[in-house]
Structure 1
Amino acid sequence: MKNLLLLFAAAFSVGALSGCEEPEQKRPNILLVLTDDQGWGDLAFHGNDSIDTPHLDWLAQHATEFTRFYVSPVCAPTRASILTGRYHLATGTSWVTHRMEVMREEEVTIAEVMKAAGYRTGLFGKWHNGKQYPHDPLGQGFQEFFGFKEGHFNNYFDAVLTHNFEEVKTQGYMANVLADKAMEFMASDGPFLCMLTLNTPHGPFQVPDEYFDKYAAMGLSNKDAAVYGMVENIDDIMGRLLDHLNAIQKEEETIVIFMTDNGPNGVRYNGGFKGIKAHVDEGGVRVPFLIRYPRLGWDKGAKIEKMAGHIDILPTLAELTGVVLPDSLNIHGKSLLPMTDSAPGRPDRKFYTHQVIREMDTIPSAVRTDQYLLTMKPNETALYDLLADPYQKQNIIDSLPELAANMQADYRNWFSEVTKKGTTPEPIQVGHSGVPEVELPAPDVFAKEAVEFKGGMGWANDWFTGVNNESKAIWDLLAVDTATYAVYVEMACETAAPFNVRISLGSEVVQKEVSASLSAPQLESPDREDRGEVYERKWPLVFAGNLKVSPGSGELSVSVNGFSGSSLEIKSIRLRML
């Protein structure tokens, strides 16, 4: 069904071109730059006089800015909506860890749509919608991927990143490396969709000295100096990207989008808006959005004040490139083109927001119209008139109870619709030929007994600690074909006596005796501020044996017996296809 939908879109794409450009013109390229945890106020052109962003300031004067552009409160949900044009809950993505970030395989992405229409597709940077194939970029339409798939990365200098299915040691600051790879991709022949999804200014707070020292000298805290330094580095990257498009003579025919994925990762200048990252208020979900396309005159610094959001990106780009999106895709967003004309454009709409606090629930949530915002939180339901009170100073729910009740009813209907397929994460797939390794990291665990996460919550890169003879960790698998894997365990232990590590999948069992202590030393980490997540360590790989998988569902478990040491930790299981 997914392939049929893509064939439909490709078949009708050329005929639709005449609606937005002359037939002899080249089809527009797409460069979408998405930054991580950069708030609405982390830009000089939004009134922040403590930060220098000259290239983005220039872009704001030579692009169209949607001044009321909304995303989700956290990373993975926003990315799922950008990729699909659908609210994230409908895609299977509900949060940021424990496989709640994984987008369903059946979802049709912007990369799949554009690839079917003849575009080269590449993603450079953070993915965060599924670590294992086919939930990874290569399985969701990107022909080239260079970056990382988790929610965040541990070290930003000389990182080991993933290029398609291979690990590559890089040199230099990660954001610069990713930009270099994106520019290489754009320079090749043929129309392109290039997504540069930078890792900054998300923590850990690491940035080259020349950026950090400048803001530290202004008296900012170490964290804010690092964040602003990372944002200025992003600004320099934007300057390089724009210069590169001009140098390769693709500036006029390239749609350039700059945006961020949620509110700021901390309390700092945010234009006076209430809330930060993970909040459903304005400050948590209102972000910068610039789109430049000289061919259509979107290079004049126009400001569009009507509400728009991440679900609108795919239908907008589809219209600009002449690709017809089948109704069966159930796209929730709308093209932004009518809003850029002098005509009134679209009528008022509603925009829905949902956030998870550890466990899935109907709230925290919000409903927005062009005038009103209703926020629903565990301890408060509030209504605001955003036209009269954009900073949410006065809760007016008592004066407009009927409006609030209607908006709540709308939200309940919406929530029921977008969750009708459930919110249970899909299993990890194994058995795909051509996929050399499947990693089962600790945070992707389906169930666990007598074991805890080192970092407490189980964010990306975390591991199991306190493992003992009563411990068990289980991953939910789906084998699509028969395959045999060499099984490795990333683990560290302090022990004076041998013990056994046991991995089982149905009737298949492998067991390895570990007879000596194994060390996982922490790597040097040039953080400017203490982090809340785990630090990176160099983990030993213990070969446990060969394991055969047969088609169907199953649970892979790891346990130990005979352990009498003082410490045992497990980071992941790695399955390497033989």
Structure 2
Amino acid sequence: MSLIFYVLASLVVLIKCESLPKPNIVFIVADDLGWSDVSFHGSDQIMTPNIDMLAYQGIIIPQYYTDTRGTPARSALFTGKYPLRMGTQGISIASAEDRGLPTTEVLLPQYLQELGYATHLIGKWGLGKSREHYLPTNRGFDTFYGFSGSSVDYYTYNHVETWNETVFYGLDFFNNLEPVEDQRGHLTEVLTDRAVKLIRNHDTSVPLYLHMSHAAPHVGGGFVNLQTPEDLIAANDHIAHSPRRLYAGLVTGLDRSIGHVISALAERELLNNTIVVLISDNGAASTGLNRNFGSNLPLRAQKARLGKVREGNYKIIIGKVEPQQSNYYGMELKKSRIPGFLYENVLLSSDTARVFRETLFINIDLEMAATKRNYSDLYRHINNTDAERLCIPTNAKGCLFDLSVDPAESKDLWDTHPQFVQHMVLRLRAYWAAINPRQEPTLDPRANPALHDFIWLPWLDNLENVSKPLLAIPNFPLQVSVGELQYLVDFNLNAFKESLTSYVKSSADSFIQNIAKLFSF
């Protein structure tokens, strides 16, 4: 996630140059979108023509990595820092706990405000709501229209949260700091209408930063998980698996929303000077209580995974996990009961394709699109993979993969690259030692919306001091090996030798120069 921040941070530096026009920035975030659930990644089941058009005419970042949960991913996006530096790692902030992104952190919208941008957040916040100073209008956004917690019901905009036997529920939908109690409609459509209206009313003499953070295709925040409009269910009627069909409808709604936003930018003649970024906060929730029936194939497991670090094309994974948590989820969801669509027709008939043709005078090159699509389709990598022989990390050993040739993580290189493993594990130990402990998730009864007319409102003053127990830093999930200790000794000895050699050479050169001066006439 921090990669995108540094791209934008570099952009901020360029923006400071007075001779350059400040570009508009439209940053769109999907929630729990599966890797293989966009058609430019090769999906023939769920069509995303508007997203695909942006990919084909823009830049695809195939090695873009994010955190596994919402709060850490979003805190990294807005700050450019690893969550473990700020205590925002781990599970997302619950609505009834007093926790938020530390107010000492300066966020991306605050930097853009200083540069004269109009900054707007539509949709999900997810970075704290117990105190007003955690809320987006106090963190760099001029306006906020959306929900402050992790998820809401797509039709009532209520959030339900359960702590053991305690159930809290209430409205979580706001216009800045004011609750919105008269809004009706499906959440994706409501957020889209707001974004289109904002673009149409924007003062074009001021650069725009619109951060549109969708709920889709995350499950709803009430007791009903997958809430999809009937027309979007019908649009995916070819999908045999019923819950998968509902999920696909949410993705279709997300894709159409993006098309409407692009159309609105074109209508205001803003598109030529607008940077559009589309990401997902993390992958699909393939299993568990919040399963949305998305698919991350050919990537293994689901959105939550233990310690990992990358260097170049290599990825190392450590931590003891159950075998079923390291499998390929979603294969059973890929079946269709009737033929799908002709991809080229769907692509060319999208709103974004029309805008590109009529406004930017860009006609999609179908051969180029096919090439990019084939390159981005990683599904072929699991065709010959034996799921029974996949590497499962334990306390004794982890797993090492070369993602440049094995994105499906099917061929473990741990035993064949011992020195590289030792180097990577030491790096991961260094990260682990720098963890900033986070608060233990604790229910605060004062958060109960029943005390506030069944609305999720801040319940603490900004300066109120509340005792917050910290979670102990977990033990490093890999035991120390003899090889690792030997590597560390050799590494330090080599560093000492190089330092000593450099010192002796420098001293000798200085001595020779001084002696030479004594004999110079």
Q: TM-score range by the shorter chain?
A: 0.5 to 0.7
Relative to structure 1, the CA distance from residue 57 to residue 410 in structure 2 (aligned partners, 3 Å threshold; closer, same or farther) is: same
Query: Equivalents in 2 of 1:172, 1:552: separation in Å?
Result: 38
Is the aligned partner of 1:414 residue 2:431?
yes
Is the aligned partner of 1:31 residue 2:26?
yes
Is the aligned partner of 1:260 residue 2:280?
yes
Cα deviation code 1:458-516 (max 9, x no counterpart): xxxxxxxxxxxxxxx588xxxxxxxxxxxx8727xxxxxxxxxxxxxxxxxxxxxxxxx
Cα deviation code 1:141-187 (max 9, x no counterpart): 11101101111113435775211111113121111111222223333
Structure 2 match to 1:88: 83
Q: Is the 8 A contact 2:29 2:214 kept in 1?
A: yes
Query: Equivalents in 2 of 1:167, 1:474: separation in Å?
Result: 18
Q: Is the 8 A contact 2:121 2:211 kept in 1?
A: yes
Structure 1 match to 2:93: 97
Is the aligned partner of 1:206 residue 2:215?
no
Query: Equivalents in 2 of 1:40, 1:411: separation in Å?
Result: 26
**CA RMSD of superposed structures (Å):** 3.0
Is the aligned partner of 1:174 residue 2:187?
yes
Identify the match of residue 303 of structure 2 among 244, 268, 277.
Answer: 277
Query: Equivalents in 2 of 1:240, 1:548: separation in Å?
Result: 39
Cα deviation code 1:19-50 (max 9, x no counterpart): xxxx5553101100001000211101111100
Q: What amino acid is the match of 2:67?
A: S
Q: What amino acid is the match of 2:265?
A: L
SS of residue in 2 equivalent to 1:76: helix
Relative to structure 1, the CA distance from residue 172 to residue 489 in structure 2 (aligned partners, 3 Å threshold; closer, same or farther) is: closer
- TM superposition shift of 1:233: 0.7
Structure 2: tracts of 5 or more residues without a match:
1-8, 159-170, 220-224, 287-292, 322-392, 469-521
Identity of aligned residues (%): 25
Structure 1 match to 2:382: none
Is the aligned partner of 1:194 residue 2:220?
no
Q: Is the 8 A contact 2:93 2:127 kept in 1?
A: no
Structure 1 match to 2:352: none
Q: Is the 8 A contact 1:27 1:191 kept in 2?
A: yes
Relative to structure 1, the CA distance from residue 212 to residue 49 in structure 2 (aligned partners, 3 Å threshold; closer, same or farther) is: same
Q: Is the 8 A contact 2:16 2:115 kept in 1?
A: no
- TM superposition shift of 1:191: 0.7
SS of residue in 1 equivalent to 2:25: strand
Query: Equivalents in 2 of 1:549, 1:152: separation in Å?
Result: 24
Q: What amino acid is the match of 1:121?
A: T
Q: What's the TM-score, normalizing by structure 2?
A: 0.62
SS of residue in 2 equivalent to 1:411: helix
Q: What amino acid is the match of 1:424?
A: Q
- TM superposition shift of 1:100: 8.7
Cα deviation code 1:121-157 (max 9, x no counterpart): 1110011110132112122111101101111113435
Q: Is the 8 A contact 1:158 1:171 kept in 2?
A: no
Structure 1 match to 2:307: 365
Cα deviation code 1:196-238 (max 9, x no counterpart): 00001000210100111332x3243232111111111111111
Name the count of aligned residue pairs: 349
The equivalences for 1:44-443 within 5 A come to 44-94=39-89, 95-98=91-94, 99=97, 102-131=100-129, 132-156=131-155, 161-168=173-180, 169-187=182-200, 188-189=202-203, 190-203=206-219, 204-215=225-236, 217-266=237-286, 268-279=294-305, 364-379=306-321, 380=393, 381-417=398-434, 419-420=435-436, 422-424=437-439
Greater per-residue helix proportion: 2
Relative to structure 1, the CA distance from residue 112 to residue 205 in structure 2 (aligned partners, 3 Å threshold; closer, same or farther) is: same
Q: Is the 8 A contact 1:373 1:384 kept in 2?
A: yes
Q: What amino acid is the match of 1:166?
A: E
Query: Equivalents in 2 of 1:153, 1:13: separation in Å?
Result: 33
Q: Is the 8 A contact 1:92 1:102 kept in 2?
A: no
Q: What amino acid is the match of 1:136?
A: L
Relative to structure 1, the CA distance from residue 445 to residue 232 in structure 2 (aligned partners, 3 Å threshold; closer, same or farther) is: same
Relative to structure 1, the CA distance from residue 64 to residue 101 in structure 2 (aligned partners, 3 Å threshold; closer, same or farther) is: farther
SS of residue in 2 equivalent to 1:553: coil
Cα deviation code 1:395-416 (max 9, x no counterpart): 1211112211211110121232
Query: Equivalents in 1 of 2:462, 2:319: separation in Å?
Result: 46
SS of residue in 2 equivalent to 1:82: helix
Query: Equivalents in 1 of 2:215, 2:100: separation in Å?
Result: 18
Relative to structure 1, the CA distance from residue 212 to residue 383 in structure 2 (aligned partners, 3 Å threshold; closer, same or farther) is: same
SS of residue in 1 equivalent to 2:128: coil
Query: Equivalents in 1 of 2:98, 2:422: separation in Å?
Result: 30
Query: Equivalents in 2 of 1:400, 1:92: separation in Å?
Result: 33
Q: What's the TM-score, normalizing by structure 1?
A: 0.56
Structure 1: tracts of 5 or more residues without a match:
1-8, 280-363, 426-442, 447-472, 476-487, 492-537, 542-546, 557-578
Q: What amino acid is the match of 1:369?
A: E
Q: Is the 8 A contact 1:84 1:109 kept in 2?
A: yes
SS of residue in 2 equivalent to 1:406: helix
Q: What amino acid is the match of 2:406?
A: D
Query: Equivalents in 2 of 1:31, 1:226: separation in Å?
Result: 27
Q: Which has the higher contact order (CA 8 A, sep 6+)?
A: 2
Of the two, which has the highest radius of gyration?
2
SS of residue in 2 equivalent to 1:245: helix
Q: What amino acid is the match of 1:490?
A: A
SS of residue in 2 equivalent to 1:66: coil
Q: What amino acid is the match of 1:140?
A: R
Query: Equivalents in 1 of 2:460, 2:62: separation in Å?
Result: 54
Relative to structure 1, the CA distance from residue 553 to residue 27 in structure 2 (aligned partners, 3 Å threshold; closer, same or farther) is: same
Q: Is the 8 A contact 2:400 2:413 kept in 1?
A: yes
